[in-house]
Amino acid sequence: MTQSVVVQVGQCGNQIGCCFWDLALREHAAVNQKGIYDEAISSFFRNVDTRVVGDGGSISKGKICSLKARAVLIDMEEGVVNEILQGPLRDVFDTKQLITDISGSGNNWAVGHKVFGSLYQDQILEKFRKSAEHCDCLQCFFIIHSMGGGTGSGLGTFLLKVLEDEFPEVYRFVTSIYPSGEDDVITSPYNSILAMKELNEHADCVLPIDNQSLFDIISKIDLMVNSGKLGTTVKPKSLVTSSSGALKKRHKKPFDAMNNIVANLLLNLTSSARFEGSLNMDLNEISMNLVPFPQLHYLVSSLTPLYTLTDVNIPPRRLKPSLQFVSWNQEGWKTSLCSVPPVGHSHSLLALANNTCVKPTFMELKERFMRLYKKKAHLHHYLQVEGMEESCFTEAVSSLSALIQEYDQLDATKNMPVQDLPRLSIAM
């Protein structure tokens, strides 16, 4: 059984991370009735005897003493992390797993990446090494961050290079929150594009999440809940709509429900690796099957049931593919079956797709970027940081353009007839 470490960077990353840990605890509590520290829990939690001072407290088997999350929390301002440490999840985190600063990155990728990157590089490396040491067999780093801000975007992507150098064999799964069109951070296009270049080069798999889509989903649910049409479509007490049983009392903050969806996504992603089933799928299998070319590693995700009671009994391979696949991968399905359902549901289905539908999102992002860049608006904030030059911007844009072009080429093959290529002929 393998372990994974979650790295939450910036305000967005930490808030989502918090939701994730809350859900993970609930899920394991539902499954693990006897309180034994088993392999499934050990994938995300350590079992620690808190009476022992220092590092020696890890317990590998037996009853659960005190669970500590395998996480590293990084933020360049203290507000969010402090709130977590005063909230109900405070015992789940080790103070030694935090890196904080006071002033924040000012929504500036350059500050996050270059300034704080070099300032905290050693500390960050040390925290990572420590968390890796606590793992028997570390398989994956899950990095959660947003693309539009300064810390999550800048420092979050700086980490990728560090992880790639230090732990080349460990997978880097990045959950990136892309800003919506009405994002209140004006420089979010700059930050996003600069971060994208790093994601292109140093991440194994990226799960892009669009804030706008999350918002739409939540509005739809709210509409249904409030109009009283519960029962048929909206499942009461599902993890998304209800907060009963949650450790964290919902303060009705606008992002809570959205973060919850993302946290659910991460849980579902790892379920097959943690629990048993008749057709297991490990995280390295996700990368192997869904990434045909190293550049094209953006996976769009969809999750059901979020709010409906659709019958998910049909194994996906029976679905008539009404999707258009590339000619060289006509049956590009990978299936996995896990016997343990999530809390509050009897079934659930997670679909990950490597799909050219990410192209419009990227193109829109590029357009927003160009609008600012053409006028050189706000550029001086970035250029005054040591190490930043205009070439950073131009390189980032060309990296994105190259990616868009690759997707373009694949789209171009869409309506062409499928031709079987001539095979090798054998002389008999």
Q: Using the rule CB under 8 A, is 236 a contact of other proteins?
A: no
Q: How far is the CB of 278 from other proteins (least distance, A)?
A: 4
Tokens, residue 116 = 């704080």
Q: Which of residues 292-331 bind other proteins (CB under 8 A)?
A: 292-294, 313, 315-317, 321, 326-331
Closest CA to 124 of 2, 5, 4, 262: 5
Tokens, residue 389 = 């030059």
**Rounded Cα gap, residues 319 and 331, in angstroms:** 12
Q: How far is the CB of 380 from other proteins (least distance, A)?
A: 40
Q: Which of residues 174-203 bind other proteins (CB under 8 A)?
A: none
**Rounded Cα gap, residues 114 and 385, in angstroms:** 8
**Rounded Cα gap, residues 420 and 428, in angstroms:** 23
Q: How far from each other are the two terminal CA atoms of the chain, in whole angstroms?
A: 50
Q: How far is the CB of 334 from other proteins (least distance, A)?
A: 5
Of residues 53, 102, 412, 426, which one binds other proteins by CB under 8 A? 426
Number of residues that bind other proteins (CB under 8 A): 44
Q: Which of residues 38-97 bind other proteins (CB under 8 A)?
A: 39
Q: How far is the CB of 49 from other proteins (least distance, A)?
A: 24
**Rounded Cα gap, residues 112 and 154, in angstroms:** 4
- 391 class by beta-carbon count within 10 Å (0-12 exposed, 13-18 middle, 19+ buried): exposed
Q: How far is the CB of 171 from other proteins (least distance, A)?
A: 9
Q: Which of residues 132-151 bind other proteins (CB under 8 A)?
A: 136-137, 139
**Rounded Cα gap, residues 248 and 21, in angstroms:** 11
Spell out, one character per residue from 1 to 40, where the chain touches other proteins: x when CB under 8 A holds, - when not.
Answer: xx------------------------------------x-
Q: Which of residues 394-423 bind other proteins (CB under 8 A)?
A: 420-421, 423
Evaluate whether 113 touches 144 at the Cβ level (below 8 Å). Answer: no
Q: How far is the CB of 62 from other proteins (least distance, A)?
A: 18
Tokens, residue 17 = 């991370």
Residue 5 host element (H or E): strand 3-9
Residues that bind other proteins (CB under 8 A): 1-2, 39, 136-137, 139, 276, 278-280, 282, 284-285, 287-294, 313, 315-317, 321, 326-335, 337, 420-421, 423-426, 428
